[in-house]
Amino acid sequence: MKINIHKMEGNELIFVVIVAKYNGELVMVRHKDRHTYEIPGGHIEAGESPDEAAKRELFEETGALDFNLEAIGDYSVNGRCGRLYIADIHKLGPLPDSEMAEVMMYKEGIEWTYEKIQPFLLQFAEDYRAIRPIQVNDAKAYHDLMYQLDDETSFMLYEKGERKSSIEDFEKRIQGMIEGGICYVHGDKNLNGFIAVNRSHINKIKHIGYIVIGILESHGGRKIGTMLFNKAFTWAKANDIHRLELTVMVPNKAGVNLYEKMGFDIEGVKRKAIYMDGDYLDEYYMSKLL
């Protein structure tokens, strides 16, 4: 069984799944015909939008009366696609007359109905909840993240040991990003990844956002890059950005694959753009129109 996470564009959706919390605890439900537990969700009915289906399923399966709902990604299992949501429930009412027999808060050791799918989606949702806009008081953690990325990969701009920025320098950089764009980070006291969208204040080009992204090796394979891009896309669309662009070294095949998956196209090649390890490397110039 193969589970994939996709950008929220152009997928033929069949299901919705809602990772919901009530008073900070994960909400689980049990079907009348089963003794196992699952995350609320179900099929999108004819004529429904995914958002409408998610609201209906959350009410029908939990009795949720007041809640916030956010779409965080599309997923597929063996080629069949669904949309994943997170929700914070503020008020629970009686469980409606439905196929569900019980609502309970998650407990360690419960038996999952869809044990190969929903724990994966739960981890994705928890990682998504860990993504937030950067703050100036993140300067020390952001400083440490960037230095660690310099050590781990040769595909960031600085070589290992070349960066000489202080925490105060990072405070200024963060303030500049807040004023001129957005930077989302993953993590709390320790940061595991980031995506920055920088824009100009010049009228003729202020519709363009330039992207830089980096994720620690320890958090690879968890789809955090996809989450960060989805966050950036949502922000960009809400802030009248119509073009996103980035550069990537041609040998960085994992990076190129991620960017193409997220809808970026190669527009051209910057020849001999990078000098590294005694050789000149080309960069791809990539863009995505919103």
Residue 110, CA distances (Å) to 30, 53, 102, 105, 273 in order: 11, 27, 14, 10, 54
pLDDT at 10 over 80: no
pLDDT beyond 80 at 148: yes
- Going by pLDDT thresholds of 50, 70 and 90, the confidence category of residue 5 is confident
Return the pLDDT at 172. Answer: 96
Is the pLDDT score of 4 beyond 90? no
- Looking at residue 211, what is its pLDDT? 98
- Residue 69 and residue 149 share a domain: no
Residue that is last in its domain, among 105, 129, 153? 129
Residue range 146-163: mean pLDDT, rounded? 95
Same domain, 146 and 273: yes
CB 58 within 8 A of CB 69: yes
Total tally of structural domains belonging to the chain: 2
Domain of 148, CATH number, reads: 3.40.630.30
Q: What angle do CA 211, 222, 219 make, to 5 degrees?
A: 75
Spell out the alpha helix ranges (H) of the chain. 50-62, 118-129, 139-152, 167-180, 224-238, 253-261
pLDDT of 162: 94
Q: In the predicted model, what is the mean pLDDT of the chain?
A: 94
Do 138 and 29 sit in the same domain of this protein? Answer: no
The answer to whether residues 147 and 81 belong to one domain is: no
Q: Identify whether residues 16 and 149 lie together within a single domain.
A: no
- Could you tell me if 151 and 168 lie in one domain? yes
Instruction: For residues 148 and 274, state if they share a domain.
Output: yes
- Same structural domain, 125 and 147: no
Q: How far is CA 218 from the centre of its chain?
A: 17
200 in the same domain as 104: no
The last residue of a domain, from among 88, 107, 129: 129
Taking only the tens place, the pLDDT of each residue in 64-99 is: 999 999 999 899 998 899 999 999 999 999 999 989
How are beta strands 181-187 and 279-289 bridged, if at all?
A: unpaired
What's the rounded Cα separation, in Å, for the pair 155 and 230? Answer: 22
Residues 285 and 170 placed together within one structural domain of the fold: yes
Q: Are 51 and 83 in contact (CB under 8 A)?
A: no
Confidence bin at 8 (pLDDT 50/70/90): confident
**Of the candidates 98, 129, 160, which is a domain's last residue?**
129
What does the pLDDT look like over 33-59, one tens digit per residue?
A: 999 999 999 999 999 999 999 999 999
164 shares its domain with 247:
yes
Specify whether 119 is located in the same domain as 237: no
Give me the CATH number covering residue 85. Answer: 3.90.79.10
pLDDT per residue over 201-214, tens digit each?
A: 999 999 999 999 99
Within 13 A of 82's CA, how many CA atoms are on the CB side?
A: 20
CA 130, 133, 137, 138 dihedral sign is: positive
The residue segments making up the domain with residue 266 are 131-289
